Amino acid sequence: MKRSLAVVAALMVGSAVQASPVEVVVSHFDENLAWLSKLAAGSESPQISMYTKGSGEGAKEWNPNMEVHRLPNVGRESHTYLHHIVKNYDKLADWTVFTQAGEPSFGYRGHRKGGGHLLAGDKFANYLTPDPSGARFIHTAVVQLPSMNHLLRAAFCINSTDVEAGSVTACPKLAAQWSKWWDIGAFHDFIAFKIESQGGEPVMDFYRKYINPSHVDRDVTISFSQGARFAVARAKIQSRPKADYERLLETLSHDADPYSGYFMEWMWSELFQGHQELCPMPPKTAAISHPMAVDELAQRFPEAVRKHYVDLGLAQIAASRSLEASVSGGISGGISGGISGGISGGVPATTTTMAAANITGIIVSVTSVPAPETIVPVTDVKAPETNATTTNAKTTGVSSAPQVFTAPLAAILAMAMAAFA
């Protein structure tokens, strides 16, 4: 016990400059900040430093403990975080929470499509309490470099605490609580284009140059917090020289959407804590597609998925065994979780979001599961006043012919867009 307290004390000791106990650094562009009003004002509440790359108009009204700073619209949230560290290196708070400005909530469905990067059962308040380890990273995804193949944590995709028996920990306890390895597809080419057009380094060169110079292997597997929300003690940050952060900041200071911003979302934990393969993971097998990985998760946790949709008020989907959205050649899914690199802290969605094109129809295929009374057969529903047309549903392998039902268009589209996060 004495040793544990000593570790906490050591982590909280930084420079002699007076600093706040807890500070929240918010990377903002034009997100609604009303949620910040929920952080109680007063001497015990955290100091909030909001860095806006938009107008920031009226921001301070949401919390009297908030300081508003304006930054140029470059570098996304990684630029904001590193700017704060470099500017305040000698007067950092004892404990700093770094977050994008979107309201914290479960999961992630893509820019402005819902989801605020929390694991099922977690809450933002948990980040405000200093951890004895000196950092709080909830690892919701894994990336294998240089292939960029991904894993997604099941409890980040399915909003049910049943998936991990109600616990919220840095890592899942079991390898089976991740998705299968999946290929990021065209996003790999998108990153390659960014690197080439901006004169950047390939991902492994970047990792060795800026994050882990001692790494000699040709590949590395990194667990990370999708959405770049984490908290770090001052001593952890100051364990690296200020010059390290200045060099990284330079890579983020010349473009609204730099290649290094994507790398940094993967590498924050490595930067502060060193390379640690903390989490039990599935063996490294051949990657499948993102839709296949999401569908496989849904089949592996059927009861949790049912509760997930019931909580969303989407009884139609809760009753179905499969969800297919025909988006840009066929993206299936429906539960949360997509490619990392959500837009926040300074980049309008249209500049980088890999948006879907030619939405040809959205359907829900229901097999032999009894349909709730709220589901209306397609034949009795007027077509929505859009250019969308309904296509045929694929069967799910059940011998009986499936019935096809509509589901709320906006809700299903939001889910389908997860693959374009």
- Quick one: CA torsion of 176, 178, 184, 188, rounded to 10 degrees? -110
Strands 95-100 and 22-28, bridge-based pairing:
parallel
Number of helices followed by number of strands (H, E) in the chain: 13, 15
Amino acid 93: pLDDT: 97
pLDDT at residue 125 above 90?
A: yes
Residue 410, H or E segment:
helix 409-416
pLDDT of residue 259: 97
Q: Are 359 and 413 in contact (CB under 8 A)?
A: yes
Q: Which residues contact 39 (CB under 8 A, 6 or more apart)?
A: 24, 45, 46, 48, 63, 65
Confidence at residue 308, expressed as pLDDT on a 0 to 100 scale: 75
Q: With bands split at pLDDT 50, 70 and 90, how would you rate the model's confidence at 194?
A: very high
pTM attached to this predicted model: 0.74
Mean pLDDT over all residues of the chain? Answer: 75
Residue 353: its pLDDT value, please? 34
Q: What is the DSSP secondary structure assignment for residue 121, as one 8-state letter?
A: T
Of the two residues 264 and 302, the one the predictor is more confident about is 264
Non-local (6+) Cβ contacts of 303 within 8 A are: 160, 162
Average pLDDT score over residue span 71-83: 98
Q: Is the pLDDT of residue 193 over 80?
A: yes
| Bigger pLDDT: 342 vs 333 | 342
